[in-house]
Structure 1
């Protein structure tokens, strides 16, 4: 929750973070010592199996990741576990960056040893930049539902969740749904994780409000209207929430992904999380390999780890919902205690398509500032 991962409609413009242009040019990455052309590998079989992939990744000596906050979906433990398991140093750059920053960094640092090897992206940014991705199918590829992957492995959803309302029950009355937030008891209390014209979580928060007020994935206008009413009532708090603002009680109500809100219940016992059954909005992030990354074998090993039972259970430990959850339940490999710890959800989930996401982003760009300005 420390950073608002970007939805980033194609029309948006971003400033490149200064450090991406500083490194000197590097020589083209050679083949691994094993002789495998890792850049062209589409599965572990191209390395002769997992042992060959592990050797090739170790030969490269590192992995560059970007925009992975340690408190987001348990990424600190995921990175630490991968590094310890394979003896590969993970260089984590710009943990508070957004999805567009990831793409900008890859373009600015192309051919350099500091370029990102892998991406973790919001929907619109991912689908707008598929030409930058290297197709790769992990060993568990068939476990991922067809809806959540490119058939060639160009991108694959990795983890997701539902939009939620987190609130401090020691300070506020019980919240049962979106419209409760208009009550006078919530004056100056309600924060949204980011700016919905750029932030994935915030845009889906507006979509949740839209659905709760008669809108749909094709009509986000009622959600913008709701936040306009929230602002007019004095209830909207224009502060970008973080774990620190929650724990210090500066942001007593936060609209965000359930796995981020739920993580705060471990730190603040009075923090409660509600996933509205009448406005169940879901979403997944997209995982992909940078086709021009400097550590192509390590990038592929990272993917294998993320989609292994171990990696998926580590996402689950961070209260995110792993994309292979159904297959792992059937196989008996999911951590049932962690699964039981997830916030309960009811209702029919709404997951916006790429076209709907783009349409909603355009509407937000034209109308959000007017509603809450």
Structure 2
């Protein structure tokens, strides 16, 4: 009798393990990836992954705010991976039970402060907010040519810059929300809302995504803009006459990757995380992303060599930015009324 019971137990365990293994089998369906950073960089990375892993993919380009709205507000499902975007977005996904735990072996060398302790997200790169200046526009503007270049956010409020600057919208842009949340953590909510409102009134427009502000700056439509430094350096590398300044107590991001619940291809999603955190991929990515690597012993892009990070708000907390997301945005909306 006991032998029969043992046989049933073994079969039962085998069935359970079979379901687990089957659940981890790579699907024939494309891996669906939301990419928060530049689409061309995302395609390059995913094409390389496709060649290495024989895994087709669908790329969905969104800003951080779009991703938050689609995944959290609308409850969109069927997405496998969120690639890039500030860690506070990934914290929101974790807090709302939208993401899966996965601690890649490749993440072992990444310092603990740049990844979730339980494995819900892992940092891939670090970037800082910066004030970008189009030197050509600045020097050719008779109202600006004699003025010192802006070194802090308040410098952008000079009357001579009215209509000549741009900031990203904190509701739709992770860059804009990082600006709002970091100032709030440093100065308090009311001061942050007041500063953002003043910058909005000073701006020619508010952009949907942070990299759009950098693009407008490069194209000569603006004298100055706030965006992540990496977006400004991307255009500087292409020959545009842009100078960048990290303001005192500037906010910063950890660009992260996380796997979502409800995806159709969890096995391939884990492979993509491993791929993105590998030293080879990180080296290739840092040559095009103009961000600071988190994986040790990877050389930074030469354009980042002179950048000093002492001005960053060292105490900036991504978990707090995630927790206060709705509160800060509600205060922002109320101030617009």
For residues 309-328 of structure 1, what are the structure 2 equivalents within 5 Å?
309-317=279-287, 318-324=289-295, 328=296
* Mapped contact 1:191–1:237 kept (Cα < 8 A): yes
Q: Which residue of 2 aligns with 1:148?
A: 114
Secondary structure of the corresponding residue to residue 347 of structure 1 = coil
Q: Which residue of 1 aligns with 2:188?
A: 219
- What per-residue deviation string (whole Å, max 9, x for no partner) do you get for residues 151-206 of structure 1? 3322222223111111211112523222221223312111112x224532112223
- What per-residue deviation string (whole Å, max 9, x for no partner) do you get for residues 275-330 of structure 1? 12x22322213321123311122111100011111222233220122332xxx22x
What is the alpha-carbon distance in structure 2 between the residues aligned to residue 38 and residue 107 of structure 1? 26
Q: 2:151 aligns with which of 176, 182, 186?
A: 176
The two structures, once aligned, show a CA RMSD in angstroms of: 3.3
Q: 1:85 aligns with which of 49, 52, 56?
A: 52
Secondary structure of the corresponding residue to residue 159 of structure 1 = strand
Secondary structure of the corresponding residue to residue 93 of structure 1 = strand
Q: 1:336 to 1:257 in 2, by over 3 A?
A: closer
Q: Which residue of 2 aligns with 1:136?
A: 102
The structural deviation recorded for 1:139 is 1.7
Q: 2:180 aligns with which of 206, 211, 216?
A: 206
Q: 1:298 to 1:365 in 2, by over 3 A?
A: same
Q: 1:128 to 1:151 in 2, by over 3 A?
A: same
What is the alpha-carbon distance in structure 2 between the residues aligned to residue 220 and residue 256 of structure 1? 21
- What per-residue deviation string (whole Å, max 9, x for no partner) do you get for residues 248-297 of structure 1? 32233221111122212123521111112x22322213321123311122
Q: 1:101 to 1:363 in 2, by over 3 A?
A: closer
The structural deviation recorded for 1:336 is 4.6
Q: 1:303 to 1:337 in 2, by over 3 A?
A: same
What is the alpha-carbon distance in structure 1 between the residues aligned to residue 231 and residue 277 of structure 2? 21
* Mapped contact 2:164–2:224 kept (Cα < 8 A): yes
Q: Which residue of 1 aligns with 2:162?
A: 187
Gaps of 5+ in 2: 1-14, 139-144
Q: 1:116 aligns with which of 64, 79, 85?
A: 79
Secondary structure of the corresponding residue to residue 140 of structure 1 = helix
- What per-residue deviation string (whole Å, max 9, x for no partner) do you get for residues 17-51 of structure 1? xxxxxxxxxxxxxx9xx9972646xxxxxxxxxxx
* Mapped contact 1:197–1:365 kept (Cα < 8 A): no
Q: 1:335 aligns with which of 292, 299, 319?
A: 299
The structural deviation recorded for 1:362 is 1.5
* Mapped contact 1:189–1:252 kept (Cα < 8 A): yes
The alignment of Structure 1 onto Structure 2 pairs a total of residues equal to 302
Q: Does 1:302 align with 2:272?
A: yes
Q: Which residue of 2 aligns with 1:62?
A: 30
TM-score, normalised relative to structure 2: 0.76
TM-score, normalised relative to structure 1: 0.69
Which region of structure 1 is more displaced relative to structure 2, 223-232 or 302-311? 223-232
Q: Does 1:345 align with 2:309?
A: yes
What is the alpha-carbon distance in structure 2 between the residues aligned to residue 60 and residue 106 of structure 1? 27
Q: 1:204 to 1:136 in 2, by over 3 A?
A: closer
Q: Higher strand share goes to which structure?
A: 2
For residues 223-242 of structure 1, what are the structure 2 equivalents within 5 Å?
223-230=192-199, 235-240=202-207, 241-242=212-213
Q: 1:196 to 1:345 in 2, by over 3 A?
A: same
The structural deviation recorded for 1:359 is 3.4
Secondary structure of the corresponding residue to residue 273 of structure 2 = helix
- What per-residue deviation string (whole Å, max 9, x for no partner) do you get for residues 218-272 of structure 1? 613223223444456xx32224135553343223322111112221212352111
